[in-house]
Amino acid sequence: MASHLVVTSRLTATSSFFFFFFLCLVARHHLEAAEYTVGDADGWDTGINYLLWSNKYNFTVGDVLVFKYVQVQHNVYQVTEETYRSCDSSTGVTRTYDSGDDRVTLGEATSYWFICTINGHCQAGMRLAVSVAKSSSDGGGATSAAPSPPEQDNGAAGGRMGWWWKAWMLCLSLCLLTWLNCF
């Protein structure tokens, strides 16, 4: 009788853990964002067709673009569509990046335009246009679709989320093993 009680409470604990885990999974689905290295292995450089590159992917709100390049040789200016087309960065600049490892969070379902302003690089094709769709979560999209201010900074938050996720996976594996041992 006592052992039966122990098993029952163990089962309850296990199922509540899984319920909590499931909640986290759902939360993650809404928070998780894909990360794209612009140009893939080529990075952010001259001589690459970024139109072809951007056409390969479907960007959604929360995704992160990572521009990788040799610092000083290039830069990343977030600009208006007009400036993207004219390559004239004297106007229409929203934001500038120059770290060589720039992370830009696509915080809104809109279009984003980026150019490099170093000597004729933009004219030579070093410009990127990306259109971002609403979060792809099915149903109840109202909350996830709410416009949020673009938080385009160090992607530390994304990295931390990745670590949390790994921790959770480890936790789940351990729990599963323990649970299997009970029977």
The number of angstroms, rounded, from the C-alpha of 181 to the middle of its chain's C-alpha atoms is 38
From the number of C-beta atoms within 10 Å of its C-beta (0-12, 13-18, 19+), residue 38 rates as: buried
Residue whose CB is less far from Cu ion, 67 or 112? 67
Nearer to Cu ion, 87 or 118 (CB): 118
Q: Is the Cβ of residue 68 or residue 74 nearer to Cu ion in the bound state?
A: 74
Burial 98-114 (b: 16+ CB within 10 A, else e): eebebbbbbbeeeebbb
Compute the least distance from the CB of residue 70 to Cu ion, in Å: 9
Residues that bind Cu ion (CB under 5 A): 74, 116, 118, 121, 126
The token pair at 171 is 């936790």
CA 8 – CA 5 distance, rounded (Å): 5
Nearer to Cu ion, 36 or 114 (CB): 114
Q: How far is the CB of 102 from Cu ion (least distance, A)?
A: 12
CB of 149 to Cu ion, least distance (A): 28
- DSSP of 129-151, one letter per residue? EEEEEPP---S-HHHHHS-----
The residue among 38 and 61 lying less far from Cu ion, judged by its C-beta, is: 38
Residue 14 CB, nearest distance to Cu ion (Å)?
A: 55
DSSP H helical segments within 32-155, as ranges? 50-55, 81-86, 141-145
Closest approach, Cβ 126 to Cu ion, in A, equals 5
Measured CA distances, 17 to 6, 89, 162, 163, 176 (Å):
16, 54, 20, 20, 11
